[in-house]
C-alpha cells in the first residue's frame, strides 16, 4: 500500500450527488465513534435502501498539524471485511483489530464509502454517503489518562482564532462552544462539534464571531464548552492582532 499524507476536514458524513445515479443511498454506520480498550471492537454497516449496495472500509492513522487533520494509510488497525455487499435491509458486522498499540491512545479514522454502481438509464441522481469515523485505541495500563488543555484567544488576519494545545495522553472532543461576556450574556460560537485535539497536538480554530461579540471579547470573558462530554469553563482575554 503506497503511503501518502493528506490534509482533510473530517465530517461524520459527506453526501455526494453523482449524475446518472438513482435513489438516495441506504448506507448507515453505527456507532459514529469507536473506542477500543481490549484490542478489538466492532462497527455495523446497514443498508436501509431497497436495492443492494457495495461498501468499502479503509483505515488511516490520524494525526494533526495546527491547521487541520492529516490521514496516512496504515496496517496498525485492521478492518474485516474491508469490502462488503449488502442486500436491501441487511446488516454487516465489521471487526476492528488493533495491532501492537504504541501509545496510551492511538488515533485512527475509518473512511467508509458506498462504491457507486450504475443505475438504470434516466433514473436521475443517486446520493452516495461517505463516513469518516474516529477510532481511539487505548493501551492496557492507561485507564486513567486524560486530556490536559491549554487555551489562547487572539485576533488574526482571518478573524478570531482559538488555539487549543493538548499536553495529555488522551484526545479532547470539543462541543457546544459559547462565549460568556463580563455581564453574563452568552453567544454560541459552535452549536455542535467544534473539533478534536489529539494527544500531544495543537489545533487552531477560526471562530465565526459577530462584530459585536468580537468587541466584547476584548474586555475578557469566559468560554463554556463540553470536553469529552464534561462541561468546562475557561477564562480568556483576547490578544490583539499580531500576538
Number of folded domains in the chain?
2
Is residue 173 situated within a structural domain?
A: yes
pLDDT of amino acid 240: 64
Q: Based on the domain organization, do 19 and 63 belong to the same domain?
A: yes
Last residue in a domain, options 104, 138, 172: 138
Q: Based on the domain organization, do 82 and 122 belong to the same domain?
A: yes
List Cα–Cα distances, 12 to 7, 62, 81, 193, 228, in angstroms. Answer: 16, 14, 21, 10, 17
Q: Based on the domain organization, do 65 and 120 belong to the same domain?
A: yes
Poorest-pLDDT segment among 54-58, 140-144, 147-151: 140-144
The cell numbers describing 129, all together, are 454517503
Say which residues have a Cβ less than 8 Å from residue 141's Cβ, sequence separation at least 6: none
Q: Based on the domain organization, do 128 and 226 belong to the same domain?
A: no
Q: Based on the domain organization, do 182 and 67 belong to the same domain?
A: no
List Cα–Cα distances, 114 to 17, 126, 189, in angstroms. Answer: 12, 11, 33
**149-191 residue pLDDT tens:** 999 988 888 788 999 999 999 999 999 999 998 878 888 888 8
Q: Based on the domain organization, do 187 and 168 belong to the same domain?
A: yes
- Statement: residue 13 has pLDDT above 50: no
* CA gap 128, 161 in Å, rounded: 34
* CA gap 103, 36 in Å, rounded: 13
Q: Based on the domain organization, do 127 and 199 belong to the same domain?
A: no
Q: Based on the domain organization, do 156 and 92 belong to the same domain?
A: no
Q: Based on the domain organization, do 104 and 162 belong to the same domain?
A: no
pLDDT of amino acid 120: 53
The answer to whether 36 and 135 are in contact (CB under 8 A) is yes
- Average model confidence (pLDDT) across the chain: 84
Q: Based on the domain organization, do 190 and 126 belong to the same domain?
A: no
Q: What is the pTM assigned to this prediction?
A: 0.83
Q: What is the CATH number of the domain that holds 205?
A: 2.60.40.3970
pLDDT of amino acid 155: 85
Domain around 87: 6-138
Is residue 144 situated within a structural domain?
A: no
Amino acid at each position: 500500500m503506497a503511503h501518502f499524507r493528506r490534509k482533510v476536514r473530517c465530517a461524520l458524513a459527506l453526501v455526494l450527488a453523482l449524475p446518472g445515479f438513482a435513489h438516495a443511498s441506504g448506507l448507515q454506520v453505527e456507532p459514529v465513534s469507536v473506542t477500543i480498550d481490549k484490542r478489538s471492537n466492532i462497527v455495523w454497516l446497514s443498508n436501509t435502501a431497497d436495492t443492494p449496495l457495495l461498501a468499502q472500509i479503509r483505515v488511516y492513522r490520524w494525526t494533526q498539524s495546527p491547521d487541520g487533520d492529516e490521514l496516512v494509510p496504515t496496517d496498525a488497525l485492521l478492518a474485516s471485511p474491508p469490502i462488503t455487499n449488502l442486500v436491501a435491509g441487511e446488516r454487516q458486522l465489521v471487526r476492528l483489530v488493533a495491532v501492537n498499540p504504541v501509545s496510551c491512545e492511538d488515533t485512527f479514522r475509518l473512511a467508509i464509502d458506498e462504491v457507486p454502481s450504475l443505475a438504470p438509464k434516466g433514473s436521475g441522481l443517486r446520493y452516495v454517503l461517505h463516513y469518516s469515523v474516529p477510532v481511539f485505541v487505548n493501551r492496557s495500563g492507561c485507564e486513567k489518562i486524560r486530556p490536559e488543555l491549554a487555551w489562547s484567544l487572539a485576533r488574526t488576519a482571518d478573524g478570531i482564532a482559538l488555539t487549543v494545545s493538548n499536553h495529555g495522553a488522551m484526545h479532547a472532543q470539543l462541543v457546544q462552544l459559547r462565549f460568556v461576556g463580563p455581564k453574563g450574556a452568552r453567544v454560541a460560537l459552535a452549536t455542535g462539534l467544534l473539533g478534536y485535539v489529539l494527544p500531544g497536538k495543537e489545533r487552531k480554530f477560526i471562530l465565526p464571531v459577530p462584530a459585536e461579540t468580537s468587541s466584547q471579547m476584548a474586555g475578557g470573558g469566559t468560554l463554556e464548552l463540553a470536553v469529552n462530554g464534561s462541561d468546562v469553563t475557561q477564562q480568556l482575554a483576547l490578544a490583539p492582532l499580531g500576538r
